Chain A
Amino acid sequence: MSKKILLLSSVIFLSSCATTNISELGDKFLDLINPSDDATEVAMLSGEETLVAMDEAGGFTIDELEELSNDELIAIAREKGLEDLILLDEDGNLLNRDQIINAIVESAALLESKSEELESMSDDELIEVAVAKGLSEEIVLDADGNLANRDELVEAIIENAAVTEAAISEFGNNAGSFTLYFGYDDTEIDEVATRIIIQHANFMQENPSVNLRLEGHADERGTREYNLALGENRALSVKEVLGLYNLDDRIIVVSYGEEQPILTGSNEEAWEKNRRVEFSYY
């Protein structure tokens, strides 16, 4: 709020200083403003404020959102259940405008397909999905043990999915996945790998709705069943590091052994690429 006043007064001030060296004054003023908000300031100074009618279907284009004020963006984000993503400074001003805009756009697209999918599920299937996402607390059962709040549960699941999607893309993963590689017959995590895994641990701590599936793989050499075991050991090594951050109950470990190579071929290049653990957030 105070930023608006500051800017309004700066407009008034600048326009009243017609004969003075405007740019010099303007520079001094701009110094006081957070440099990252430059784009925003230009929009504000133009003096235009447009009210955008809320689209019932929930879809906004990036252009439409870019024209909105921070407060309007915050309001929309809250309505879409993206509260957790909003970053504010000490004065309550929006710091991560771009991220919020992206999240709103993505959540809209997600909303449509997700709600269709969920609507077609039976009550039992819905309950299963809710539990898998850590939303057991949202489930309300009636006296007979049947689902009593289907609509609310669907909404909760959709919100949860929107937050997760946004968090994952913000973290910079490609479609929520990341790969760690290993040496031959090796399941050890070295220092470099440990540091990478810690980054992921931090990400998970900051985003409680996000869950992780670790998939262990091995190259084709050696026997199939032994490689299944090796793959699991690799994924478990990664899980061990994450376990230090109390994230165990949000992690699933699976091994594919040599059954799902990324690269086929009996050569070093293929073998290197196949000895891996894949991180898959969901």
Chain B
Amino acid sequence: MKIIKFLISFSIFISLSANALLEVNIIKSKEAAFPIVIAPFEIVGDSNNVDISKIIRDNLNRSGQFNALSTEALITNQIDFSFWKEHKKDAVVFGKIEQVSSKVYNVYIYIYDVFSEKSLYQKKIRVHNSGFRRIAHFLSDKIYYVLLGQKGSFDTRLSYVTVIENKNGGRTYKLQISDSDGYNPQTVVRSSNPILSPAWSKDQKKLAYVSFKNNRSEVFVMTPFLKTIPIKLPKFDGIASSPTWHPDGKSIALTLSKSGNKDIYLYDFESKPIPLTTNIAIDTEASFSPDGSKIAFTSNRTGQVQVYIKNLKSGKISRATFEGRYNAKPVFSPDGKDLALIHRVGKDYRLALLDIASRDLTVMTQNKSDESPYFSPNGGMIIYSTNRDNKGILSIISLHNNQTVELMQKEGEVREPSWSNYSN
């Protein structure tokens, strides 16, 4: 089969799928690094209406590192390399979905390097038809790795909180999880009282969060994929909030305000919580380093709101932020070298990136009210919440070219994102 023509499809994403609660908009797209063609997969047998190639294209484009386009015609083994070289594409990906039984399919994927005309990767995967989206994400990570030598962040999940004003007054809060592209949202907790600070454990088995269902802030832990009742952490005096998991998944750091003093404690679900900070100032918003040896946190111990790092082995606490008078909500990058945090510029609260060693701070946005940043597991993107037209939305920024993708709901607001580790 010869490929005669192809149409370029533009990278404007408007969610038309009934399955996605979150609409996705790319608002800034600079020249992306890797021009790649991902052709529609050949379908043998009953199709499932899941367009695997489109999910892969959208993923790769969202990362900011690819400019992934489709073709009008299928590619099946006969690749016109000179054609693609002419059109300056660096790689071609094609595949096939072949029905084996009523619910089981074989998925084939082939990645070719245009310049050398060599096959870079090919694989056959046996899939249940409910797992097509998952496979698309898994394959996106594979392509990312084969072509860039780094892991992607696609076979992962998001968790976040949605808020809708009820017609009869009051609000409905939902804690939801979704695919990394915002599709497939599932409500795991629903309440008429505020929910905040969802935090994934590293193995994706648990979600910790803060709920006001008992008219005060309390920390709960739930298992999104098992039908068990959320566990409430024991009643502590005052505030219990800001949970974050130790990488070993066995304990959490959280903020408690015993006797009115807000400090960070380590809690292993069995013995009494152990204080990690003891200063009479507000100490909150802790985040573990990837190896679990440190925590970064927010403190106003010098009168200004700044970010500090505590080495849990030596016990030493040192200040991390030296620019500006308000720096808060730090999270470690997956390689432990940077912190994403919220930095105040004038009256605006903006996402910023701190190089811990050099203390260089880079302000990443021009927004007015950014909050709760979180790194993707490959460190290439940061998700955070912000406002657009007075409505809360989520934003994902690529650290390669600052390309921004926005996730929002038609009705109500989205906030408090957390990005899980890999699902596989």
B216 A224 Cβ-Cβ under 8 A? no
**Interface residue B408 (Cβ < 8 Å from any Cβ of A):** no
**Interface residue B292 (Cβ < 8 Å from any Cβ of A):** no
How many residues on B have C-beta within 8 angstroms of the other chain's C-beta atoms? 34
**Interface residue A105 (Cβ < 8 Å from any Cβ of B):** no
Distance (Å) between the CB of B321 and the closest chain A CB? 13
Which of A27-35, A143-151, A195-203, A254-262 binds B? A254-262
Contact of A260 among B194, B342, B372 (CB under 8 A): B194
| List of B residues within 8 angstroms of A256 by Cβ | 194, 212, 217
Distance (Å) between the CB of B103 and the closest chain A CB? 43
Measured in the bound complex, the distance between the Cα atoms of B218 and A256 in whole Å is 11
Which of A15-23, A133-141, A154-162, A225-233 binds B? A225-233
Total A-B residue contacts, Cβ distance less than 8 Å: 80
| List of A residues within 8 angstroms of B390 by Cβ | 265-266
Contact of A224 among B239, B326, B371 (CB under 8 A): B371
Measured in the bound complex, the distance between the Cα atoms of B229 and A255 in whole Å is 26
Closest B residue to A259 by beta carbon equals B194
How many residues on A have C-beta within 8 angstroms of the other chain's C-beta atoms? 22
Measured in the bound complex, the distance between the Cα atoms of B194 and A117 in whole Å is 27
Measured in the bound complex, the distance between the Cα atoms of B241 and A256 in whole Å is 11
Measured in the bound complex, the distance between the Cα atoms of B228 and A99 in whole Å is 54
**Interface residue B255 (Cβ < 8 Å from any Cβ of A):** yes
**Interface residue A236 (Cβ < 8 Å from any Cβ of B):** yes
B239 A229 Cβ-Cβ under 8 A? yes
CB contact under 8 A between A259 and B257, given known A253-B238, A266-B369: no
Measured in the bound complex, the distance between the Cα atoms of B260 and A229 in whole Å is 9
**Interface residue B416 (Cβ < 8 Å from any Cβ of A):** yes
Measured in the bound complex, the distance between the Cα atoms of B390 and A98 in whole Å is 50
Distance (Å) between the CB of A258 and the closest chain B CB? 9
Closest B residue to A230 by beta carbon equals B282
CB contact under 8 A between A225 and B369, given known A255-B239, A266-B387: no
Measured in the bound complex, the distance between the Cα atoms of B193 and A260 in whole Å is 9
A223 B372 Cβ-Cβ under 8 A? yes
Interface residues of A in 210-251 (CB under 8 A from B): 220-226, 228-230, 232-233, 236
- 14 inter-chain pairs at a CB distance below 8 angstroms, sorted by A residue, are A221-B369, A222-B326, A222-B342, A223-B372, A225-B242, A226-B305, A228-B241, A229-B282, A232-B239, A233-B260, A253-B238, A254-B215, A255-B217, A265-B390
Beyond the given pairs A225-B255, A228-B284, A229-B255, 18 more chain A to chain B contacts, judged by CB atoms under 8 angstroms and listed by A's residue number, are A221-B369, A222-B342, A223-B328, A223-B342, A224-B197, A224-B372, A225-B329, A226-B328, A228-B239, A228-B241, A229-B262, A232-B257, A233-B282, A253-B238, A253-B260, A254-B216, A255-B217, A256-B212
